Structure 1
């Protein structure tokens, strides 16, 4: 099974969201873009701007925490432009 750490971007909110999943990224994105109570439920224009693949959930979650601990939009933006 593959696990992912990913970054989403919403143009409406001008915000980034960092997460991890063991699901297919397309399915996870679809759920983010539905109307729900969570942070990403506020709008439905989220796009995947960055992803990394990991062999275990522990590694994907550790990377998510590392990125979130940066607390730096500039670093996230720099990362999300890699490979574009």
Structure 2
């Protein structure tokens, strides 16, 4: 059955995109597994008719954005802790 209600964004797609973004940034070799897995998760939401394409696209965009924001925050925190004198 076609989806009849709004479910924006796709949480599964968003979680997959966040994970793929962070894993790829940590080590590009992880990206070879994480990115196709995230794409398969997004496709499954469409294949099973549980989300509209806009829900999946929105989840992917938000997921990558959140992943990049978390990486930026982590680098900011790590930079502050790096210069902190030992006690």
Same fold (TM over 0.5): no
Could you say which structure has the higher helix fraction? 2
Instruction: Output the TM-score relative to the length of structure 1.
Output: 0.29
> RCO greater where, 1 or 2, for CA within 8 Å and sep 6 or more?
2
Whichever of the two has the greater Rg, that structure is: 2
Instruction: Output the TM-score relative to the length of structure 2.
Output: 0.28
Could you say which structure has the higher strand fraction? 1
